[in-house]
Structure 1
């Protein structure tokens, strides 16, 4: 997990206006988070991150729109870009004046990080089919 946190912290330091990154499971439970400073940490801890995104994504899918990949939200004091991956959500929190397009353009770079995350998730929760094969 420390390797992941280092990669996320490096991203925060490199991207102007990015104040926090939060990795959550499908239910909105925080797996890990990194932030720019103590004030950012307090902001991140108060966000009802993906529980809402999960509901919106499910409803859009039920309406025949397909699976949502990215949700962008703008608030008074910050902006939120949420990337939907199969097992988890990756949430980027930026200041209120940051260019959202720059954050959305990070997706290819984030894919390499999410490969690491997927491997960590599989180590913690191996698929049931793989367990059955190993047990036989």
Structure 2
């Protein structure tokens, strides 16, 4: 006999597998895109898709958590809620979207088309909404 908990767990697993497949297909959609990482506000990795060329340091908690802190500070400037941050490094660029309660980080080569990376927000929105729903259902109020 299948319990409600087992059904819920199977549903979560299927959604996560679908999200991971979709993220992997997004990697091929922009030349030079090396990684897509979805985290919580604290930078904890929930799901990611990367190529072998993706810099390991860009996947670490301290790098990913910085956006959450920076977006909070930027929102205090009095010009509204911060939606995204684009950061350029020597060989790489990072585009980070605030999709509260989740954050999306795109890591790409420095010569990748930033406009195409920005356009991925619309592509990723349905995935983020599904993932947010799964996360919202698994939270436990204490």
Q: Is the TM value for this pair above 0.5?
A: yes
The Cα of 1:9 is off from its aligned counterpart by 0.2
Is structure 2 residue 45 aligned with structure 1 residue 34? no
Is structure 2 residue 81 aligned with structure 1 residue 67? yes
In structure 2, relative to structure 1, the CA distance for the partners of 1:50 and 1:44 (3 Å cut) is closer
Number of equivalenced pairs? 127
**Partner Cα separation in structure 1 for residue 24 and residue 88 of structure 2:** 22
The Cα of 1:73 is off from its aligned counterpart by 0.3
Given the two structures, how large is their TM-score scaled by the length of structure 2? 0.80
Q: Is contact 1:72-1:80 (8 Å) kept?
A: yes
Q: Which structure 2 residue ranges, 5 or more long, are not aligned?
A: 1-15
* Residues 15-54 of structure 1, C-alpha deviations (whole Å, 9 max, x = no match): 21111011111011111111112x4263443473332222
2:100 to 46, 62, 86: 86
- Report the secondary structure of 2:82's partner residue: coil
Q: Which structure 1 residue ranges, 5 or more long, are not aligned?
A: 129-136
Q: Is contact 2:86-2:95 (8 Å) kept?
A: yes
Given the two structures, how large is their TM-score scaled by the length of structure 1? 0.83
Larger deviation, residues 6-15 vs 57-66:
57-66
The Cα of 1:99 is off from its aligned counterpart by 1.0
Is structure 2 residue 5 aligned with structure 1 residue 7? no
The Cα of 1:65 is off from its aligned counterpart by 2.0
* Residues 65-104 of structure 1, C-alpha deviations (whole Å, 9 max, x = no match): 2211010000011110000011110100111100111111
2:70 to 41, 52, 56: 56
**Partner Cα separation in structure 2 for residue 71 and residue 60 of structure 1:** 10
* Residues 108-130 of structure 1, C-alpha deviations (whole Å, 9 max, x = no match): 1111111111112112216x5xx
CA RMSD of aligned residues (A): 2.0
